[in-house]
Amino acid sequence: MMDWTDRHCRYFLRQVSSSAFLYTEMITTGALLHGNVERHLAFSAEEHPVAAQLGGSEPDELAQCAALVEQYGYDEVNLNIGCPSERVQRGAFGACLMAEPELVADCVRAMRQAVRIPVTVKHRIGLNAMEDFPFVEKFVQTVAEAGCRTFIVHARNAVLKGLSPKENREIPPLKYEYVHRLKKNFPQLEFILNGGLTTQAQIANQDSLVDGVMLGRAAYHDPWVLAESGNSRHSVAIKMHRYCQQQVARGASVRHIARHMLGLYHGHRRARLWRRLLSDSARLAHNDPALLLEALDAVESTSSQEKPDPEIPHERRS
């Protein structure tokens, strides 16, 4: 979710769900050690519970960055070794680290020694041709011995050559049964299932088999999949208007906030109108938060024809 789940996106998702555990985009260790820490780690208090996701392969550097994450007040620090992009591979981290479970264990151990907040790992079930269950089972066992208690598992293989990141999210077959077996074999650990989940029914089917689910692009494109009973799109839009006013007064751009809200009315009769208004270049050029109210009024002129908001009573990770 690099370049997607920035602080504005997370604040928006928090208005949709008060309980979902939110995650930052993956932040490389180099970006924190040599870049603008405030830009990468600053967040609004309303975002809690929220975790920072790191990308790296040097235990000492990850330990330093984990300490920064804790100093900024995050509730968890997550090591992402599931990303298959070439940009990440060139940095010798991401999914390629699944081939080096001992190194991942060293990274987790160093991070845990540096912080008191939980250190978790996000990973795939296999790598290239290594896709048998014993491969991921050994990986989890090795990393768990270093003290990791929570594993967020994207239930697909990562293919580092020949597939784009998008294809890696679609072509390798989903093997939910691998994650279910991990939970059965390691009942003392927490397993969060990721990959391919897009509907409430699909999510509900996993409730008794794993400890939770993580949604990425599915929640970005259709945020209401995270919604809680009693919440409304109208209420979310009003809260985001207030937030937008505050952020614009601090120098933020309406465009950078509104772009994360395009899916709020997904499935609504006037969803296309909502998206068009919030992405209108001429309107955005004024940098006026009132655009959100204008779009809300336009959509709700036919609110009686809106589909009922779905109810999702249990907690989700996003």
Residue 293: which CATH number? 1.20.120.1460
| Residue 65: active-site member | no
Please report, as a single letter, which amino acid is at residue 112. Answer: R
- Note whether 24 and 167 are same-domain residues: yes
- Note whether 88 and 153 are same-domain residues: yes
Parallel, antiparallel or unpaired: strands 150-158 and 119-127: parallel
- With 60 as the cut, is the pLDDT of residue 310 above it? no
Q: Which residues pair with 122 in a beta bridge?
A: 80, 152
Could you tell me if residue 154 is inside a domain?
A: yes
Mean pLDDT, the chain, integer? 91
Could you tell me if residue 318 is inside a domain?
A: no
Q: What's residue 83's pLDDT?
A: 72
**Cβ atoms within 10 Å of 196's Cβ, excluding its own:** 15
Could you tell me if residue 310 is inside a domain?
A: no
In a 13 Å sphere around the CA of 243, the CA atoms on its Cβ side amount to 25
**Cβ atoms within 10 Å of 256's Cβ, excluding its own:** 15
Could you tell me if residue 314 is inside a domain?
A: no
- Note whether 53 and 178 are same-domain residues: yes
Q: What's residue 163's pLDDT?
A: 75
Q: Counting beta carbons within 10 angstroms of the beta carbon of residue 250, is it exposed (0 to 12), middle (13 to 18) or buried (19 or more)?
A: exposed
pTM confidence score:
0.90
**Model confidence over 99-132: pLDDT tens digits?**
999 999 999 999 999 999 999 999 999 988 888 9
**Model confidence over 47-62: pLDDT tens digits?**
999 999 999 999 999 9
**Model confidence over 186-223: pLDDT tens digits?**
999 999 999 999 988 999 999 999 999 999 999 999 99
Q: What's residue 164's pLDDT?
A: 78
- With 80 as the cut, is the pLDDT of residue 86 above it? no
Domain that holds residue 55: 7-226
Helix or strand or coil: residue 214? strand
Work out the pLDDT band at 159, boundaries 50, 70, 90: confident
Please report, for residues 21, 37, 53, 73, 200, the alpha-carbon distance to residue 27 in angstroms, rounded to integers and kept in the order given: 17, 10, 6, 16, 29
Q: Domain holding 124: CATH number?
A: 3.20.20.70
- Note whether 16 and 62 are same-domain residues: yes
- Note whether 13 and 126 are same-domain residues: yes
Work out the pLDDT band at 93, boundaries 50, 70, 90: low
CA–CA gap between residue 204 and residue 157 (Å, rounded)? 24
Could you tell me if residue 308 is inside a domain?
A: no
Q: In what order do the strands lie in the sheet with 190-194?
A: 22-28, 50-55, 76-81, 119-127, 150-158, 190-194, 212-214
- Note whether 151 and 294 are same-domain residues: no
Q: What's residue 131's pLDDT?
A: 87
Phi, psi (rounded to 5 degrees) for 253? -105, 135
| DSSP sequence for 191-202 | EEEESS--SHHH
- Note whether 104 and 212 are same-domain residues: yes
Work out the pLDDT band at 251, boundaries 50, 70, 90: very high
Q: Which of 162, 197, 226 is the last residue of a domain?
A: 226
CA–CA gap between residue 80 and residue 90 (Å, rounded)? 15
**Model confidence over 260-294: pLDDT tens digits?**
999 999 998 999 999 999 999 999 999 999 999 99
Average pLDDT over residues 152-175: 85
Q: Which residue is catalytic, options 9, 83, 107, 148? A: 83
Q: Which of 226, 243, 260 is the last residue of a domain?
A: 226
- With 70 as the cut, is the pLDDT of residue 232 above it? yes
CA–CA gap between residue 247 and residue 242 (Å, rounded)? 9
- With 70 as the cut, is the pLDDT of residue 150 above it? yes
Q: Which of 176, 194, 226 is the last residue of a domain?
A: 226
Could you tell me if residue 286 is inside a domain?
A: yes
Q: What's residue 89's pLDDT?
A: 47
CA–CA gap between residue 151 and residue 129 (Å, rounded)? 22
Q: What's residue 88's pLDDT?
A: 52
CA–CA gap between residue 12 and residue 269 (Å, rounded)? 22
- In the chain, the number of structural domains is 2
- Note whether 156 and 297 are same-domain residues: no
By percentage, how much of the chain surpasses pLDDT 70?
91
